[in-house]
Structure 1
Amino acid sequence: MALYAQDTAAYQLPVISVQAVRTENELLQVPASIQKVQAPESQLNTNVNVSELLQGVAGLQINNRENYAQDLQISMRGFGARSTFGVRGIRLYVDGIPATMPDGQGQSSNIDLDSLDNIEVLTGPFSSLYGNSSGGTILTETKEGQGKDSIQVGLNAGSHHKQQANIQLQGGSDQANQPAYVISSSYFDTDGFRDHSAARKVLNNAKLTWNLEDGSKINWLINRVDINADDPQGLNREQWKANPKQVNDAKNIYDVRKEIEQTQTGLTWNKPLNDQNELYGMVYLGNRQVVQYQSIPSSAQKNPRHAGGVIDFDRDYYGADFRWIGKELLPNTTFIAGLAFDQMREDRQGYENFDATGRYGVKGDLRRDENNTLWNLDPYIQASWQFLPTWHLDAGLRYSNVHYESNDHYIVAGNGDDSGSTDYQKLLPSVALGWEILPELYAYTSYGKGFETPTFTEMAYNTDPLKSGMNFELKAASSDNYELGLKSQNPFGLFTFAVFQTDTENDIVTAGTRDGRATFRNADKTTRQGLELSWQQKIWAALNIQSSLSYIDAEFDSNTAEIANPNDSTKPYAKAINKGNKIPGIAKNQAFVGLAWQPEQGFQAGLEARYMDKIYVDDINSDTAPSYTVVAANVGYLWVNQDWKVNTYARVDNLFDRNYVGSVIVNDSNGRFFEPADGRNFSVGMSVNKTF
């Protein structure tokens, strides 16, 4: 984590530049809650999951499920907390290219930490600048090739037979027709902390950069990730207490697992026309293929409308974003106007997860066959006006729209044509007023309208037990977001403080499970309010401290009726949600503190402590995952000698071997809410870098 303030003897404080609001600004002049994380100079982790770097960011709840089949669990100010896999409600970008689909479903698995330069985390009202499902935004930026050619080779190993090998080639260029380059490749595998949780991941990333003679800049990127992961699934409370390492399916007859292949490429282009005008363009395309085997018994699949126990889809996606930036066309004013387009075409099948002999964990007969299409075309404008020497007014407007269409090709007796389409659209205004009270103290207040459509996965199964096909009656959520903040960078450190409130209509929540398939509905009103505080400082010499505190009170602000089960009145599909119930998956309090001794070379050391409050597991607040505090420590040595650099480290996580729940499967219908975290575990690593 980057620490920016100098010791009290030095008043030349560094300028922190951020780009999350689409123009490069100083952090203390942006009326939004933005935290910037620099990739550390020396390696302190295995560099597999982005959670390794973002634990201390205020307002961000990021949990490692210890399950590589389901990605990380990420939420910001409560947005995305309902997700049982992947990322919902917040947007992810890698070098300006979306890692989130048009419907709002994203993944973090293609972020290459070995070639990472920095991450910007944008929370609050101004996230609406990014359109649909932008309750928060995470923008990662990889390194550009610099200086002489170099090669770096690394090897990491740890508990549960974790091992990761990586190689990186990089070099700069002084000639406009020759690119600077960074090429990175890594291989990771593990037996897993729990039974049946082994995983293998291969990640390749390349970035070429041209700085042309006319002042324009081109980045070309290509990324591929290949994951094969077993899924131990969640445990109920009794299972977790008895043996947190066990797989839910004790005999493992279902062999639950997931296979993922994703390849994407993209091009970004910046072109200054003159001192006042600049153009930006981005185009990208990709393909994602997933096969997932689930633990659904054959008895549940007898219903002719059931889609089977194997999910198999092949998804092509592509898009573009073009914008113009104009400066000083009016005094002290910057304008931005742009148009973003994204499209996803998906060929989705469902199969039975058993064969003719009754053996599970195999691909059986076809039970679903459809082509799904989503697209959006979002125009947007922004303006920033310094109307007095120390006052700024920023505003934005985006028309966000998402268009869904499903063409059903599986039409048999008892399962008719479920084709259909629907559209969602919303005008998203945002406005902020900023005041530079002192050169080192900035205050702001802001408002933004948020918009979140259901993902295709959440629409996939109907809440009506007598219907099959897509749930096109599911509405998009709409939110009003308010924020008041203070920022200060001075010899005592970098401080940020924000209070916020979010009022949401038609929040997307669970509607129970039909034959092993999760369904969703809308809750009339929910409210989230809280505060965030962070402090970073270089205490003395190379000793740095980073700390953060987050508080959020998230609850249902209206009653939501139950959904009855026509076959058993005592077991409704979804129980009633009472006004005042807490929204599940959200910790009311979080705290983090980290101390690090980080000289430019020589001995390195660090100590971290993280507290997480209890988390409710479902909408009716029937149980909680208990609060916990965990501690981690690391030591290392960085040796630099002319063209050579050698980095070694050793790390222990969960130092005091706490038995705790690392993440929650929200609203699991079988009561298997708990995903246990690893006990005390170790990792060691070494990397060697040679410059030519």
Structure 2
Amino acid sequence: MRAGRAPSPLRHCTLLAGLAVALSAHQAGAQDASPDPVTLDRVQVTSARLQAVAAFDVPASLSTITLDGSAATPGVSVSEALGGVPGLAARERQNFAQDTQLSIRGFGARSTFGVRGLRLYADGIPATMPDGQGQVSHFSLAGAERIEVLRGPFSALHGNSSGGVVQIWSADGVDPTQGHAQASAGRDDSRVLSASVRGAGDVFGGALAASRFDTDGWRDHSAARRTSLNAKLHADLPGGGRVQLVGNHFDAPDAQDPLGLTAEQVRDDPRQATAVARQYDTRKSARQDQLGLRLEQPLGGGHALEAMAYAGRREIEQFLSVPVGAQSNPLSSGGVIDLDNDYGGLDLRWRWAGSLAGRTLEFTAGANADRQRQHRRGYENFVGDTLGVRGALRRDERNRVQNLDQYAQAWWQFAPRWSLLAGVRHSDVRFRSRDGYVATGNPDDSGRVDYGETTPVVGLTFAPHDDWRLYASAGRGFETPTFNELGYRADGGAGLAFDLLPATSTNVELGTKWRNARGVRLEAALFRADTDDELAVARNVGGRSSYRNVGSARREGAELAALLPLGTDWSLALAATWLDARFRDAFPICTGAGCTDPTVQVPAGTPIPGTARRQASARLQWQPGDWRFAFEAVGVGRIGVDDTGSEQAPGHVVAHADAARTWNTGHGRWRAFVRVDNVFDRAHIGSVIVNEGNGRYYEPAPGRGVLLGLRWDWQAGMD
């Protein structure tokens, strides 16, 4: 690595090893002072596709966030729960017409809408389509039990666009029946109502959850409403099996989009909406319904069968601010997107838990197939002189993408203190497009392209002590372009960009995990991902982005997470990330309006936009009796907004505080809470729109705000 840049990985390894040795020595002393043994939690590591192996023993960075209803948050966005996960950036945009921005170790950072480059699941059902585009808007926090975040090489076992994995799991039905109701209100007339109920009998059980969110929006022209429903029903089968039916509904009509701001507009008034947002009444409506069926059935002798089938439909209507003049181009697809997505899939796997050479072995093999049928129409966003209404048809195509994957994985504890986790996945992804809009100057754009990739991964874990793990892992990953990225050619010509190649990555990770009987937890990791055929924006014209492969890129860094009990009532949680994400090859791009011949050179070594070099968070909590008080601080470094590095969103540190009081009564438990966000009223940028063609890169975050809430948890049979 060049002088003046980040310390070498070898130096980081030495520091991590020294820290782990020191902590192990401290833990040994603590164990002498305390006879209490450490109990290992044998939880299913679903993100790593393991069942009988504790997360502590997996050679990967895996975080589990428990959602027990104690958080002093509204429960609207998944970003509320992800702030303390190292390596992950979850940026709430104050724009509910767009999804939360998620990236892991720099993967997914370039996405301007939705979630890109990551695999998402809700109750085991993919929320990422076969083309790699995903969304978390339908993730229901009202009835959720936990969120799992998997980072590093083993993410590749989930297939296309596996820069990281985020899974949300809703709670199961239980006996006795229990539930909750919660209401909260905050700034800008934001209101949230949620409720859940869970029950189970000898055979059948279920859980239902619902929430409703309304807001006038912190920025002008940003009002929104969201309604979500989630149901999870189960039936126990003979032999220890279980079948589950999961359904959810999400509806967000006419969420206003204030668009991004330029740096000058942010200085002027960070709460304003861009003028064209009002002019064209930019807005988005989203509706999604889906069902999933999961079967788990032990077969005896350590064998088990797991099967999953799902189907759903997502409808999008979005009004953009594409200028009327830009739509005079015969290749323009207009300024209104009308998108219907029908999707579904199957997953079948066999699992065996036994022994090899007298040592514990868990083996899994399976296959999955997913299909997405997309009817994409585009309309002009004007009729005569009236703007912001649906006009003439300008695009009509039917797209289909499907994948067929096969995978196998084995975990083997081949020695008392050593274990091996290895896996391989082969993926075939096929894109088809049939153009139904052929006109003068706009020829038939139908076409097809196929991608295939094999992604092996391997990890080794060493346990120098019962409560200390060292591990190393390596693997390959790949990321196909999505249909949105295939939608427009970089040369401005007709047809889809079927010349794009998938990006392929080589990932390595070194890490350590440690804990003691007093509840201290420490995890640290070094990582590097080298990508070939990296995808990046080639040009922005008429409100549309086109992409190209730009050579190689590198994402490397270090993560640290710690949980430190500070006595009976105090605790401190820390998370820190250092990330150096850069293009390693120079490449040309277009920057001027209407440009089709790229002449501006992005030099090698330019930081990948949308990534922060440093990110850290700390939460200090005091819980005396029925009270709880907490203070949080979150710091983020500067974030580049485009490939050339022409501008950066300034770094910032923001503090939050919350307090809660609990009352246990004969009719359940009541909890009142108050939260103050941005305690010191710091002006800062919450998220950026990478490579925004008009220079409106910035989405400001709100100033100081207060949230008040009341929650009731009840259980059947209480006096």
Q: TM-score under structure 1 normalisation? A: 0.96
Match of 1:317 among 334, 340, 343: 343
Who is 1:586 aligned against?
Answer: 611
Q: Deviations over 1:640-662 (max 9, x none)?
A: 22441112111011111111000
For 1:38-49, what aligned pairs fall within 5 Å after superposition? 38-49=66-77
Who is 1:121 aligned against?
Answer: 149
Amino acid at match of 1:604: R
Match of 2:497 among 464, 471, 474: 471
Q: Could you tell me how far 1:249 is from its partner in structure 2?
A: 1.7
SS in 2 for 1:128: helix
Who is 1:136 aligned against?
Answer: 164
| 2:264 corresponds to 1:238 | yes
Who is 2:377 aligned against?
Answer: 349
Who is 1:215 aligned against?
Answer: 240
Q: Deviations over 1:305-356 (max 9, x none)?
A: 1000000011100001110011225343221100011100011100000002
Who is 1:53 aligned against?
Answer: 81
Q: Could you tell me how far 1:596 is from its partner in structure 2?
A: 2.0
Give the 3 Å change call, closer, same or farther, for CA 130–428 of structure 1 in structure 2.
same
Match of 1:502 among 529, 547, 566: 529
Contact 1:510 1:574 (8 Å CA) reproduced? no
Aligned pair count reads: 680
Q: Distance in 2 between matches of 1:251 and 1:472?
A: 32
Q: Deviations over 1:527-573 (max 9, x none)?
A: 111000110132222322210110011111111124597976xx965
Match of 2:481 among 423, 429, 454: 454
Greater RCO, CA 8 A, separation 6+: 1
Who is 1:546 aligned against?
Answer: 573
Amino acid at match of 2:63: Q
Q: Could you tell me how far 1:217 is from its partner in structure 2?
A: 1.2
Q: Distance in 1 between matches of 2:591 and 2:696?
A: 22
SS in 1 for 2:325: helix
| 2:631 corresponds to 1:607 | yes
Match of 1:417 among 441, 444, 452: 444
For 1:242-257, what aligned pairs fall within 5 Å after superposition? 242-249=268-275, 252-257=278-283
Q: Distance in 2 between matches of 1:567 and 1:65?
A: 29
Q: Could you tell me how far 1:21 is from its partner in structure 2?
A: 1.2
Contact 1:225 1:263 (8 Å CA) reproduced? yes
Q: Could you tell me how far 1:9 is from its partner in structure 2?
A: 4.9
Q: Distance in 2 between matches of 1:293 and 1:625?
A: 27
Task: List alignment gaps of at least 5 residues for structure 1.
Answer: none
Who is 1:678 aligned against?
Answer: 702
Contact 2:78 2:141 (8 Å CA) reproduced? yes
Percent identity of equivalent pairs: 40
Amino acid at match of 1:361: G
Give the 3 Å change call, closer, same or farther, for CA 450–574 of structure 1 in structure 2.
farther
Give the 3 Å change call, closer, same or farther, for CA 11–627 of structure 1 in structure 2.
farther
SS in 2 for 1:524: coil
Give the 3 Å change call, closer, same or farther, for CA 458–598 of structure 1 in structure 2.
farther
SS in 2 for 1:20: helix
Give the 3 Å change call, closer, same or farther, for CA 144–430 of structure 1 in structure 2.
same
Who is 1:531 aligned against?
Answer: 558
SS in 1 for 2:142: helix
Who is 1:641 aligned against?
Answer: 665
Amino acid at match of 2:222: S
Who is 1:387 aligned against?
Answer: 414
Amino acid at match of 2:483: F
| 2:582 corresponds to 1:555 | yes
Contact 2:256 2:283 (8 Å CA) reproduced? yes
| Superposition RMSD in Å | 1.8
Q: Deviations over 1:510-533 (max 9, x none)?
A: 011122211111110001110001
Contact 1:276 1:329 (8 Å CA) reproduced? no
Amino acid at match of 1:88: R
Q: Could you tell me how far 1:375 is from its partner in structure 2?
A: 0.3
Q: Distance in 2 between matches of 1:595 and 1:10?
A: 28
SS in 1 for 2:188: helix
Amino acid at match of 1:340: N
Give the 3 Å change call, closer, same or farther, for CA 9–241 of structure 1 in structure 2.
farther
Q: Distance in 2 between matches of 1:560 and 1:223?
A: 44
Match of 1:654 among 678, 690, 703: 678
Contact 1:190 1:199 (8 Å CA) reproduced? yes
Q: Could you tell me how far 1:424 is from its partner in structure 2?
A: 1.0
Q: Could you tell me how far 1:437 is from its partner in structure 2?
A: 1.1
Q: Distance in 1 between matches of 2:443 and 2:237?
A: 57
For 1:188-337, what aligned pairs fall within 5 Å after superposition? 188-228=213-253, 229-249=255-275, 252-328=278-354, 330-331=356-357, 332-337=360-365
| 2:428 corresponds to 1:401 | yes
Give the 3 Å change call, closer, same or farther, for CA 80–337 of structure 1 in structure 2.
same
Amino acid at match of 1:171: G
SS in 1 for 2:278: coil
Q: Distance in 1 between matches of 2:599 and 2:140?
A: 40
Amino acid at match of 2:438: I
SS in 1 for 2:566: strand
Contact 2:369 2:402 (8 Å CA) reproduced? yes
Which shifted more, 36-45 or 315-324? 36-45
Give the 3 Å change call, closer, same or farther, for CA 596–416 of structure 1 in structure 2.
same
Q: Distance in 2 between matches of 1:449 and 1:404?
A: 22
Q: Could you tell me how far 1:203 is from its partner in structure 2?
A: 0.4
Give the 3 Å change call, closer, same or farther, for CA 564–75 of structure 1 in structure 2.
closer
Who is 2:12 aligned against?
Answer: none
SS in 2 for 1:117: strand
Give the 3 Å change call, closer, same or farther, for CA 622–11 of structure 1 in structure 2.
farther
Who is 1:161 aligned against?
Answer: 189
Who is 2:458 aligned against?
Answer: 431
Q: Could you tell me how far 1:638 is from its partner in structure 2?
A: 1.6
Q: Could you tell me how far 1:40 is from its partner in structure 2?
A: 3.4
Contact 1:145 1:172 (8 Å CA) reproduced? yes
Give the 3 Å change call, closer, same or farther, for CA 19–542 of structure 1 in structure 2.
farther
Q: Could you tell me how far 1:181 is from its partner in structure 2?
A: 1.3
Q: Distance in 1 between matches of 2:598 and 2:635?
A: 35
SS in 2 for 1:245: coil
Who is 1:489 aligned against?
Answer: 515
| 2:126 corresponds to 1:91 | no
Q: Deviations over 1:173-193 (max 9, x none)?
A: 2x12xx211111111010001
Q: Distance in 2 between matches of 1:676 and 1:14?
A: 45
Contact 2:631 2:658 (8 Å CA) reproduced? yes
Match of 1:184 among 209, 224, 242: 209
Amino acid at match of 2:482: T
Who is 1:32 aligned against?
Answer: 60
Q: Could you tell me how far 1:14 is from its partner in structure 2?
A: 4.3
Contact 1:42 1:638 (8 Å CA) reproduced? no
Give the 3 Å change call, closer, same or farther, for CA 200–564 of structure 1 in structure 2.
closer
Q: Distance in 2 between matches of 1:239 and 1:42?
A: 38
Q: TM-score under structure 2 normalisation? A: 0.92
Who is 1:22 aligned against?
Answer: 49
Q: Could you tell me how far 1:130 is from its partner in structure 2?
A: 0.1
Q: Deviations over 1:616-646 (max 9, x none)?
A: 1111100100000001101111212244111
Q: Distance in 2 between matches of 1:636 and 1:483?
A: 39
Q: Distance in 2 between matches of 1:437 and 1:689?
A: 43
Q: Deviations over 1:85-141 (max 9, x none)?
A: 110000111111111100111111111111111111100000001000000001111
Amino acid at match of 1:431: V
Amino acid at match of 1:277: H
Q: Distance in 2 between matches of 1:167 and 1:566?
A: 50
SS in 1 for 2:275: coil
Q: Deviations over 1:18-53 (max 9, x none)?
A: 332111221221111101111134241000011111
Who is 1:67 aligned against?
Answer: 95
Who is 1:511 aligned against?
Answer: 538
Q: Distance in 1 between matches of 2:566 and 2:495?
A: 59
Q: Could you tell me how far 1:597 is from its partner in structure 2?
A: 2.9
Who is 1:11 aligned against?
Answer: 36
Task: List alignment gaps of at least 5 residues for structure 2.
Answer: 1-26
Give the 3 Å change call, closer, same or farther, for CA 80–360 of structure 1 in structure 2.
same
Q: Could you tell me how far 1:12 is from its partner in structure 2?
A: 3.6
